[in-house]
């Protein structure tokens, strides 16, 4: 059980004060915001950040984009925050795709530059991992956006995820899925570990920040980063996942701002332990697959081994728009049968359903 100290109570009061002050300051200034009661706009915004000269990271990013281009028909505006090397790498990859594929969506590169005052946040947890926390101020021209980690495979139309904005209440500004579903206390859950977690998190299981729906207008009006900075100063010595932990703490103190996404929009290997606990994929399979912790690229010193996820990723990587998608996926199905039937491999037919049913040439 998390004990709330006097410091935590004072922090909560400080966060409330900032919110009230910001409301007073903006009381007379009306700002444009999409009316979520109306039809969702046709063009959607998706953001990702790619920093450093890591080829693996750049490959993950381009394969994520490849799946998004393949599975999403209507226009999407991808805003990619990247340094010069990453921009060059990703651009060359995309330029090799057929023109009719490239023309489906818009790619917009922006520099991945932290505010000077927060340069030391650049490599917290990973290169640019915390950049998403600065999005409201970095994109004053954008109302709402979907943030995706680079180790995501999009296996359904992104407009299905965008429509989740329509379910937000008037106060909700962040949409994220729980770390896991139906946890009974007997199996692993990152945040339900009292010996490791010494800070409050969104109950009951914590949330995962690999996929985030962000209403940037509301976040700006909420003084989002000022609150995040207060939390960082209080808890920086206790957190390890930085951006995700900070969002969990913020959501704990402000539960009305968080919308809980369906787990099918952030499906990962923890949803298979000890049994399938993401029930929303039982019909049509997942919408997005998250290979966090290196599960797409195989075991290394600091990464985890997930052969089934590796095989899915390798299939996406091999597809070059000229070979047969159906043949590759059929080969994948055969390859999976030779893998150890543990964790997610046991549910391969269900997890692969979106790939098998995809209308891709």
Give the pLDDT band of residue 260 (cuts 50, 70, 90). very high
Q: What pTM did the predictor assign?
A: 0.87
pLDDT tops 70 at residue 66 = yes
Prior bond to 212 cis, omega within 30? no
d(CA 154, CA 173): 22
Q: Is the pLDDT of residue 1 over 60?
A: no
Q: Is the pLDDT of residue 26 over 80?
A: no
pLDDT at 20 over 90: no
- Ordered DSSP codes for 199-257: S--STTT-EEEEEEEEEHHHHHHTTHHHHHHHHHHHHTTT-SSTHHHHHHHHHHH-GGG
Banded pLDDT at 23 (limits 50, 70, 90): very low
Instruction: Give residue for tokens 């993401």.
Output: 278
Q: What is the pLDDT of residue 39?
A: 46
Q: Which residues contact 285 (CB under 8 A, 6 or more apart)?
A: 155, 264, 350, 351, 352, 353, 354
Is 3.30.2010.10 the CATH classification of the domain at 44-265? Answer: no
CA–CA separation, 179 vs 187, rounded Å?
13
Residues near 46 by Cβ (< 8 Å), separated by ≥ 6? 68, 76, 77, 78, 79, 145, 146, 147, 148, 158
Mean model confidence pLDDT for the chain: 86
CB neighbour list of residue 140: distance below 8 Å, 6 or more residues apart: 220
Q: Averaging pLDDT over each range in 116-130, 144-158, 196-210, 286-300, which range is the top one? A: 144-158
| CATH 3.90.550.10 domain locations along the chain | 44-265
The DSSP call for residue 39 is: P
**What pLDDT sits at residue 13?**
55
Alpha helices in the chain (DSSP H): 6-25, 55-71, 84-95, 99-102, 135-138, 158-162, 216-221, 224-235, 243-253, 307-318, 325-337, 348-351, 353-357
Q: What pLDDT, on the 0 to 100 scale, is given for residue 51?
A: 83
Residue 18 has pLDDT above 60, yes or no: no
What would the pLDDT profile of 151-197 be if each residue is shown by its tens digit?
999 999 999 999 999 999 999 999 999 988 875 555 567 887 777 88
Average pLDDT over every residue of 44-64: 91
Number of Cβ atoms within 10 Å of the Cβ of 14: 16
């Amino acid at each position: 059980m998390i004990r709330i100290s006097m410091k935590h109570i004072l922090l909560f009061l400080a966060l409330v004060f900032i919110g009230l002050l910001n409301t007073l300051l903006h009381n007379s200034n009306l700002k444009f915001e999409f009316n979520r009661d109306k039809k969702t706009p046709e063009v959607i915004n998706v953001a990702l950040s790619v920093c450093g000269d890591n080829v693996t990271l750049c490959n993950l990013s381009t394969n994520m984009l490849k799946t998004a281009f393949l599975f999403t028909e209507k226009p999407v505006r991808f805003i990619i925050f990247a340094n010069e090397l990453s921009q060059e790498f990703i651009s060359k990859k995309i330029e090799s795709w057929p023109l009719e594929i490239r023309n489906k969506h818009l790619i917009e590169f922006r520099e991945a530059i932290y505010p000077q005052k927060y340069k030391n946040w650049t490599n917290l947890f990973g290169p640019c991992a915390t950049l998403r926390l600065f999005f409201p101020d970095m994109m004053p021209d954008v109302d709402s956006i979907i943030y995706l980690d680079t180790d995501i495979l999009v296996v359904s139309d992104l407009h299905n995820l965008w429509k989740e904005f329509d379910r937000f209440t008037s106060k909700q500004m962040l949409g994220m899925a729980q770390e896991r579903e139906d946890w009974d206390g007997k199996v692993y859950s990152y945040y339900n570990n009292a010996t490791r977690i010494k800070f409050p998190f969104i109950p009951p299981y914590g949330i995962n920040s690999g996929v985030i729906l962000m209403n940037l207008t509301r976040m700006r009006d909420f003084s989002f980063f000022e609150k995040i900075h207060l939390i960082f100063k209080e808890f920086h010595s206790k957190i390890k996942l930085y951006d995700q932990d900070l969002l969990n703490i913020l959501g704990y103190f402000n539960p009305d701002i968080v919308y809980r996404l369906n787990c099918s929009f952030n499906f990962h290997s923890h949803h298979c332990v000890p049994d399938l606990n993401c029930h929303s994929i039982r019909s049509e399979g997942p919408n997005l697959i998250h290979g966090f912790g290196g599960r797409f690229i195989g075991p290394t010193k600091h990464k985890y081994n997930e052969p089934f996820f590796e095989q899915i990723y390798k299939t996406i990587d091999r597809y070059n728009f000229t070979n047969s998608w159906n043949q590759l996926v059929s080969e994948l199905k055969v390859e999976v049968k030779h893998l150890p039937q543990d964790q997610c491999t046991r549910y391969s037919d269900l997890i692969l359903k979106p790939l098998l049913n995809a209308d891709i040439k």
